[in-house]
Copies of this chain bind each other. A is one copy, B any other.
Amino acid sequence: MTVRSSTAAGSARGFLQKPGTTRTLERTDAGEVRRTLLPGGLRVVTEHVPGVRSASVGMWVAVGSRDEQPNVAGAAHYLEHLLFKSTSRRTAQQIAEEIDAVGGELNAFTAKEHTCYYAHVLDEDLPLAVDLVCDVVFEALCTEKDMETERSVVLEEIAMRDDDPEDLLHDAFCSALLPDHTLGRPVLGSEKSITELSRNALYNFYKRRYTLPRMVFAVAGNVKHADVLRLVRKALKARLVGDVAPIAPRKGRARIPSAPRLVLHTEDTEQTHLMLGVRALDRHDDRRFTLGVLNAALGGGMSSRLFQEVREKRGLAYQVYSSVASYSDTGHLSVYAGVQPDRLGETASVIRDVLAHVAREGLSDAEVARGKGQLRGGLVLGLEDTSSRMSRIGKGELTYGDYLTVGQTLGRIDAVTGEDIALLAKELLSRPIAAAVVGPYDHVDDVPVEVHEVMG
């Protein structure tokens, strides 16, 4: 990896960097990316983006639903809600008023391995954005009263998920693919776990896990690295002490106790929603770029095999696509389709045929070239706004502890060969299949979807 160091020594990997030092990770016409390791173990990464008028700010925390014991399922997400309520310096209403007054956005999301608190504002409002994000992440009071109000709100969010067949399907698919594993559990928790979660349990989860070495503060936009550092120091003050090393990114090999299966959610829906797929690569696997091209060619666009076979030739579905998810120690490649209940069997078998064909014969040269083009264009077009640039550097540092330039990523995509893809397709698509169905079936035995291996 090429890193042009300018202001400090130390490793290219943020969690090994020398405390108090700053490194320049990239400097081009398109901007500059810098990283500082502050006392206390907090990493600050910024990207100066020329020509924009805004700033996106995000605190990335390496805490997610997989860190929960079963008795506090949903704690990470519930906590994310609670942090926007009263803090030691502001009421929930003041927080809302301050961000609304500048027309900015302040929000958060919780995933299985991380949580991100972010703001998007005009560049002149950067000081407010930094202060607000730091305030909610560190100074939330988590009062009993806030806890009770937010409990109803989280229960409403679960009910809303239950009314959205695609969201429900996604959670069902994870439980089908990774049964009896924390990654197979829904981020939202269950109605029962949320109803029973105590203030004490949640507060302990917060205080034990929300520590600086588990965090990356990322900012992208019309900003200067030095200004961001000044604002972070002002907001976090006495917390920034001690020669503490950040925690290294999660890594390992998932131990998943049970085999993939078929999960049915009986719902009286018009469409039947199907997701099927296999366990694939973790995010540290170098073949992830190969998987990206394979996924694009399988079901990433209108010219993909699945779109052509399922929608264009047969009109079976309005939506059909494949997607890839990766965690620190496992991942999946899955296919979604929404179809009429009486055409589910046909659709599932068309999808299986497509997968089996690619597993056997790989992709054509034209498909490989198109898949690469799609990834290249999508990568560059997807980085036009400051929010996606902030996510790229923040999530990258948190999950890899490393920085890859856009040019380096493009280079990795270009290096993928048809042979790499054929090998990977053969390996992944011979794995056991998991499937989830949301639709009007009374019993799982009535669902016309087979889950034995595609390759037999």
Q: Which A positions have Cβ atoms within 8 angstroms of B?
A: 50-54, 84, 92-93, 95-97, 99-106, 120-122, 125, 148-154, 156-157, 159-160, 162-165, 268-271, 273, 296, 300-304, 307-308, 311-319, 338-340, 366, 369-370, 373-381, 384-386
A377 & B270 in contact (Cβ 8 Å cutoff): no
- Residues of B near A152 (CB, < 8 A) are 315-316
**What separation, in Å, do the CA atoms of A257 and B99 have in the docked complex?**
43
**What separation, in Å, do the CA atoms of A437 and B414 have in the docked complex?**
52
- Residues of B near A53 (CB, < 8 A) are 380, 384
B315 & A96 in contact (Cβ 8 Å cutoff): no
For the complex of A and B, list the 9 residue pairs with the smallest distance between their C-beta atoms, beginning with the closest: A103-B377, A51-B51, A152-B315, A96-B302, A96-B303, A159-B270, A156-B318, A100-B301, A149-B315
B150 & A100 in contact (Cβ 8 Å cutoff): no
A364 smallest CB distance to B (angstroms):
11
Number of copies of chain A assembled together: 2
A132 smallest CB distance to B (angstroms):
11
**What separation, in Å, do the CA atoms of A162 and B381 have in the docked complex?**
32
A52 smallest CB distance to B (angstroms):
6
- Residues of B near A165 (CB, < 8 A) are 163-164
Given contacts A159-B271, A165-B163, contact A370 B100 (CB under 8 A): yes
**What separation, in Å, do the CA atoms of A300 and B162 have in the docked complex?**
25
Nearest neighbor of A384 in chain B, beta-carbon distance: B385
Supply 18 A–B pairs (Cβ within 8 Å), ascending by A.
Answer: A54-B381, A54-B384, A84-B302, A93-B312, A96-B301, A97-B303, A101-B369, A103-B380, A103-B381, A106-B302, A121-B377, A125-B377, A156-B338, A156-B340, A159-B340, A160-B270, A163-B165, A384-B385
Given contacts A149-B312, A269-B163, contact A381 B122 (CB under 8 A): yes
A374 & B100 in contact (Cβ 8 Å cutoff): yes
Given contacts A50-B51, A121-B381, A148-B315, contact A99 B302 (CB under 8 A): yes
- Residues of B near A313 (CB, < 8 A) are 149
A90 smallest CB distance to B (angstroms):
12
A252 smallest CB distance to B (angstroms):
33
**What separation, in Å, do the CA atoms of A373 and B92 have in the docked complex?**
19
**What separation, in Å, do the CA atoms of A408 and B101 have in the docked complex?**
20
Nearest neighbor of A104 in chain B, beta-carbon distance: B377
- Residues of B near A312 (CB, < 8 A) are 92-93, 96, 149
A151 smallest CB distance to B (angstroms):
7
